[in-house]
Amino acid sequence: MEQNAIGEDPSLLLVDDDEPFLRRLAKAMEKRGFAVETADSVAAGKAIATARPPAYAVVDLRLEDGTGLDVVETLRERRPESRIVVLTGYGAIATAVAAVKIGATDYLSKPADAADVMNALLSKDDELPPPPENPMSADRVRWEHIQRVYELCDRNVSETARRLNMHRRTLQRILAKRSPR
């Protein structure tokens, strides 16, 4: 997609606390014609959203100092027509619904590449973006879910096993393995 698909204002705010990912995405989006500003925290994202509300934004849901939904809310107040994509490594229907209710245009699970982000930012409201080129496998989704619950239980194996309705030893074997592709 070329510059005219982006429109008059190519300003794009990227908010993510994963610095290598943030740098890669910023570079890729600049090559696609966006004027990129980056932030690595909720506070920095809200400051930019307040001072210079962009036409487009890509905001990570979970940041070290809070939730990216606070940045989305600030953006919606300052520039209601901006197109906002919420990114997260913890894909869940509840957070997707919350993100869209607050005003996100779309919701993507990490790892998302620049093409996925571009499609989500520029898709029309009534059309669905194309399916991802390389979606996560079912095994990977299961593994991500187990890891998330494990983290939410403060890495307590017994509590995690109870919440997942799984035997503790089975969970320990799964946690000891590498993540599936």
| Comparison of pLDDT for 134 and 1, the residue scoring more | 134
How high is the pLDDT of residue 26? 93
Say if domain 3-122 classifies as CATH 3.40.50.2300: yes
pLDDT one-digit tens code per residue, 150-168: 888 888 999 999 999 999 9
Predicted TM-score (pTM) of the model is 0.68
pLDDT one-digit tens code per residue, 8-56: 889 999 999 888 889 999 999 999 999 999 999 999 999 999 999 999 9
Amino acid at 103: G
Q: For residue 181, is pLDDT > 70? A: no
CB 85 within 8 A of CB 58: yes
Domain ranges across the chain: 3-122, 138-176
Paired residues of 84 in beta bridges: 57
May I ask the CATH architecture of the domain 138-176? Orthogonal Bundle (1.10)
